[in-house]
Amino acid sequence: FGSESSFKILLRSSNFRQYEVVYARRLRDGGVEATITDNGTVLYEVFTHFPVKDGDRVMGYNLANANFAAEIGPVAEVLIVRICNDGNREWALKPDYLLDSEFK
């Protein structure tokens, strides 16, 4: 496959930030169109496959300030990598005996 030296790092950890979802709307194709902000003043429009809702916190890379050596065409301003909400999940794992009865 090649060595690690053949891969170039495009983004550093300084580009990895936390954002808050201001507005989220589900699309027909299953994706989500969201408006996010990192400091409350700058808003970014993003499309994602993550099931985010208004008020969620997400982690992502700020591509708007990234310096790519080659022109790669139009790129989203922010690439969402994960959802990082605190608190308890709204769902719970089923006990083993319930799972066993479903597969009989």
Residue-range domain boundaries for the chain: 4-102
Can you tell me the mean pLDDT for 17-37?
Answer: 91
4-102 CATH choice from 3.30.70, 2.60.40, 3.40.50, 2.40.50? 2.40.50
C-alpha torsion sign, points 58, 59, 60, 62 = positive
Look at 11 and 49; give whichever has higher pLDDT.
Answer: 49
The DSSP line for 39-86 is: SSS-EEEEEESS---TT-EEEEEE-TT---SS------SEEEEEE---
User: What pLDDT is recorded for position 13?
Assistant: 74
Classify 94 as helix, strand or coil.
Answer: coil
Per-residue pLDDT tens digits for 58-82:
999 888 777 665 666 677 788 888 8
